[in-house]
Amino acid sequence: MTFPAGALLTDLYQLTMLQAYFDEGLEETAVFEFFVRKLPRNRNFLMSAGLAQVLEHLEALRFTQDDLDWLASTRRFKPAFLDYLGMLRFRGDVHAMPEGTIFFPDEPILRVTAPIAQAQLVETRIINLLQFEVMIAAKAARCVLAAPGKLLLDFGLRRAHGAEAGLLAARASYLAGFSGTATVQAARDFEIPIFGTLAHSYIQAHVTEESAFERYARSQPENVTLLIDTYDTEAAAGKVAALAPRLAADNIHIRAVRLDSGDRADLAKRVRRILDAAGLGHIRIVCSGNLDEGEIQRLLATGAPIDGFGVGTRLDTSADAPYLDCAYKLVEYAGRARRKRSEGKATWPGRKQVFRRYGTDGRMAGDVVTTEDDVQPGEPLVVPIMRDGLRLETPVSLAAARERAARALATLPDALRALAPTCLAYSAEISPRLVQLARETDRGVSAPLP
């Protein structure tokens, strides 16, 4: 699910190029690939995400009459071209790395093969969707690696850059291994487990903290998590300890307390002692407030008895790496390989495959990026997803993609699991066959491709 995104959610130059293609009669098959040029400074890997939203967009692609009327009003486009747009539908093929796959620079995670107008038009939205979800999934995966076995919750909607970003961040973080989200619509739309507590305002609206705790617990008897740092955190923990037996007598059990400020490592230890002394070892401690994978790792390294983390702003904005150096580029047209040779932005030509090798320990041992027809040892990562505009299989569930992501993270070499950038680069080599094709393409002598 995404927000309604019509055909006009694109850059102007996509439409002006389509007008020019139409005028020239250029309608041969084009092949475009999406890839990342280089890793952000604080990333050792990326994770494929967003494919489901791309496929939904391709399936729904069409210009409404209102779209066409508005385009006509701009006086930029010819009537015959607008009639052509009115009939345009995506009828191409898609190959991709399934969501949850770990990948690296220069590895195509999505390939679109279609008449050039169709393949060109979808560029903007494809980049828009894939860049964001990949970025968030990679950030979330780092949190998962920093806190194995811990409850991890997406708390970021209010700080996300728009409503769609908040929803897709909830989806991408759950795919990468988060336990759930506080975003209600994401829980409904994507079937993600939903979690929530209460705000300081609820506590402040009551005469006493004790009455706020009790009334909230009796209002939400199945989901009691109490925020205890509005005033004095240790005193609030004592009030929770006093309240718990009264609630238990009515079969209401406090599940967790949340710390949102202060020295959470020290406070968690103090709160744990208070709760344990009252025989409340089952009550979990959850922390929130400006967290990211680095802060989570730091808190756990102190031995703080924290059972879960609500991660918000820094996750949903991917604060330390808020964009990807990514591209969607033409690699073949009319049966011949094509490539861009711009300084610093050269691309590899032709339809490509990525083969991944694993060591005897089951960990990833190296990738080879090569031409589609150059079979190499290992697992091929790019698989057919759509043909002639129709999916080859029923949509993969988010739960299944999440399981794939968990398996992928388990195969990461230790050096790539670290939060710090590693000097031991993972081997994602370019094959001799691909280098040869690039040379042939540069000389303009590459033979027609099969």
- pLDDT tens, position by position, 208-249: 999 999 999 999 999 999 999 999 999 999 999 999 999 999
- Residue 450 is predicted with a pLDDT of 53
- Residue 389 is predicted with a pLDDT of 97
Spatial distance between the Cα atoms of 30 and 400, rounded to a whole number of angstroms: 31
Assign 427 a pLDDT band (cuts: 50, 70, 90): confident
- Residue 126 is predicted with a pLDDT of 98
- Residue 4 is predicted with a pLDDT of 63
Q: Stretch 399-427: mean pLDDT, rounded?
A: 91
Measured on CA atoms in the order 7, 9, 14, 15, is the torsion positive or negative? positive
Which has more pLDDT, 3 or 269? Answer: 269
- Residue 5 is predicted with a pLDDT of 77
pLDDT single digits (tens) 38-72: 999 899 999 999 999 999 999 999 999 999 999 99
- Residue 344 is predicted with a pLDDT of 87
% the chain with pLDDT above 70: 97
- Residue 348 is predicted with a pLDDT of 96
Q: Is a pLDDT exceeding 90 seen at residue 161?
A: yes
- Residue 426 is predicted with a pLDDT of 79
User: Which residue do the tokens 């069409």 mark?
Assistant: 62
- Residue 418 is predicted with a pLDDT of 92
Of 357, 405, 347, 351, give the one whose Cα is nearest residue 138.
Answer: 405
Q: Decide: helix, strand or coil at residue 241.
A: helix
Q: Is a pLDDT exceeding 80 seen at residue 250?
A: yes
- Residue 238 is predicted with a pLDDT of 98
Q: Stretch 306-329: mean pLDDT, rounded?
A: 97
Residue type, 71: L
Q: Is a pLDDT exceeding 70 seen at residue 423?
A: no
Assign 172 a pLDDT band (cuts: 50, 70, 90): very high
Q: What is the mean pLDDT of the chain?
A: 96
Q: CA-based diameter of the chain, in Å?
A: 83
Q: Stretch 351-371: mean pLDDT, rounded?
A: 97
**CB contact at 8 A, 204 and 191:** no
Checking 443-447 for CB contacts under 8 A at 24+ apart, the result is 446/336, 446/337, 446/349
- Residue 421 is predicted with a pLDDT of 85
Q: Is a pLDDT exceeding 90 seen at residue 378?
A: yes
- Residue 441 is predicted with a pLDDT of 94
Assign 165 a pLDDT band (cuts: 50, 70, 90): very high
Residue 231 token pair: 């005033």
Q: Is a pLDDT exceeding 60 seen at residue 445?
A: no
Q: Is a pLDDT exceeding 90 seen at residue 1?
A: no
Q: For residue 418, what are the CA distances in angstroms to 29, 67, 125, 415?
A: 43, 48, 32, 6
Assign 446 a pLDDT band (cuts: 50, 70, 90): low
Assign 2 a pLDDT band (cuts: 50, 70, 90): low
How would you classify residue 27: left for phi > 0, otherwise alpha for psi between -120 and 50, otherwise beta? Answer: alpha
- Residue 449 is predicted with a pLDDT of 56
- Residue 185 is predicted with a pLDDT of 97
